[in-house]
Amino acid sequence: MNPFTGIRLSALLLFCTAWAGASGALAQSYPSRPIQLVTGNPPGGATDFIARIIGPPLGARLGQNIVIDNRPGANGIISAEVVARAAPDGYTLLYANDSLLVVNPHTYAKMSVNPIRDLEPLVTTVANQLVLAINPKTVPVDDFPSFLAFARKPPAPLFYASIGNGSHHHLAMELLKLRAGLDLTHVPYKGGGPASIAVISGENALMFGGTSVVTHIKSGKLKGIAVSGSRGWSTMPELPGIGEFVPGYKASLWHGMFLPRGTPPAVIARLRAEMNAVLALPEVREKLVSGGAGEPYITTPEEFAALLRADYERYGDLIRSIGFKAD
């Protein structure tokens, strides 16, 4: 037996014992200051809207303020970079949609951060569908079948807005173009707020959106004609699913929270427990659903990991089929 083996084993046991004690103490003392929750959308976008719903009750449970930090741009990559490079101490969290992790790696040749490698999955938060919204003055139709007929023979080229190149909103429309045989031109914006304003103004004719369009649909500024699933959606039960008219079409999405890699397990466990408790609150569910942000989506760590793997492969197949690259 190597004479150093026993020394190394003893040192390892001492380290593990000390680490376990420190981890337990950390869980009891955490958090001791405000927590930064970074989002990749500007104010008014879907991730910002949801972050501001879950932030206050999460802060109340943790006994610290949750400070929303909007870092829009590059389809979420800028916000991911901020969090990935932060200290892994539980004081900098990322709120992101699925495209950051399961779409961007397939569309960007080079990324300043690898979200799969550099971010620690914490919790899923909401599951959602996108709403296909039109400017009723530019696209004078009453329902989705009428839209298909109009879009196939428009009087002028139809431009659609998205929250950014390679975003889920962009790919959902590209999938619709592919499956329904439509000719639409993409105009990317930095977030749902600016994109929806562009459609309201008539600068663009239509877009897929979440919270950013639902509020405008309810006010009458935009018209919703369908949702992006294979069938309808409880949040907007009056709208059909695109898959009911276009066989095989489905473009649902989810949101989640992430931490820098290396965050202590005790901190991860505390945040996961408190965040899932927030998602289970009836008042949080009501705000999410009524605002068009989706429904609470609680998963186990194992289910979250499986979801990431499956969607990574699914979107990779779609992106290769349409030949899209963001740069």
**Using one digit for the tens of pLDDT, what is the confidence trace for 257-270?**
999 999 999 999 99
Q: Is the pLDDT of residue 281 over 70?
A: yes
* Residues 212, 215: Cα–Cα separation, whole Å: 6
Cis, peptide link before residue 31, omega less than 30° from 0: yes
Q: Give the confidence band of 12 by pLDDT, cuts at 50, 70, 90.
A: very low
* Residues 79, 39: Cα–Cα separation, whole Å: 6
Report residue 299: phi and psi, to 5°. Answer: -130, 165
If you average pLDDT over each of 13-27, 104-118, 297-311, which comes out highest?
Answer: 297-311
Share of the chain above pLDDT 70, in %: 91
**pLDDT value of position 166:** 79
* Mean pLDDT (whole number) for 34-51: 91
**pLDDT value of position 257:** 98
Pairing of strands 223-227, 131-134: antiparallel
Q: Give the confidence band of 214 by pLDDT, cuts at 50, 70, 90.
A: confident
**pLDDT value of position 201:** 97
**pLDDT value of position 266:** 97
* Residues 278, 251: Cα–Cα separation, whole Å: 27
Bridge partner residues of 70 (DSSP): 39
**Torsion-angle region of 126 (φ positive above 0: left; ψ -120 to 50: alpha; else: beta):** beta
Q: Give the confidence band of 255 by pLDDT, cuts at 50, 70, 90.
A: very high
**pLDDT value of position 324:** 85
* Residues 276, 32: Cα–Cα separation, whole Å: 21
Q: Residue 153 carries which side chain, given as an amino acid letter? A: K
Q: Is the pLDDT of residue 3 over 50?
A: no
Residue 315, SS3? Answer: helix
* Residues 278, 109: Cα–Cα separation, whole Å: 37
Q: Give the confidence band of 21 by pLDDT, cuts at 50, 70, 90.
A: low
Domains, the chain: 31-126+253-322 (3.40.190.150), 131-244 (3.40.190.10)
* Mean pLDDT (whole number) for 35-42: 94
Asked if 118 contacts 105 with a C-beta cutoff of 8 angstroms, the reply is no
**pLDDT value of position 312:** 92
| 90-137 confidence digits (pLDDT tens) | 999 999 989 899 998 998 888 889 888 999 999 999 998 999 999 999
Asked if 55 contacts 110 with a C-beta cutoff of 8 angstroms, the reply is no
How many Cβ atoms from other residues are within 10 Å of residue 16's Cβ? 10
Query: Which of the two residues, 111 and 20, has the higher pLDDT score?
Result: 111
DSSP per-residue string spanning 189-201: -SSHHHHHHHHHT
**pLDDT value of position 2:** 39
Q: Is the pLDDT of residue 10 over 80?
A: no
**pLDDT value of position 258:** 98
Q: Give the confidence band of 289 by pLDDT, cuts at 50, 70, 90.
A: confident
Query: Which of the two residues, 124 and 231, has the higher pLDDT score?
Result: 124
Q: Is the pLDDT of residue 168 over 60?
A: yes
Residue 206, SS3? Answer: strand
Enumerate long-range contacts of 149-153, CB under 8 Å, 24 or more apart: 151/180, 151/182, 151/183, 151/184, 152/181, 152/182
Share of the chain above pLDDT 90, in %: 64
* Mean pLDDT (whole number) for 186-193: 90
Residue 88, SS3? Answer: coil
How many Cβ atoms from other residues are within 10 Å of residue 114's Cβ? 14
The alpha carbons of the chain give a radius of gyration, in whole angstroms, of 22
Report residue 99: phi and psi, to 5°. Answer: -60, -30
* Mean pLDDT (whole number) for 158-170: 89
**Structure-token pair, residue 123:** 């919790």
The DSSP secondary-structure symbol of 294 reads -
Task: Give me the chain's average pLDDT, please.
Answer: 89
Reference 191, options 218, 213, 216, 220; nearest CA is: 213
Query: Which of the two residues, 12 and 164, has the higher pLDDT score?
Result: 164
* Residues 190, 102: Cα–Cα separation, whole Å: 19
Q: Give the confidence band of 5 by pLDDT, cuts at 50, 70, 90.
A: very low
**Gap between the terminal Cα atoms of the chain:** 56
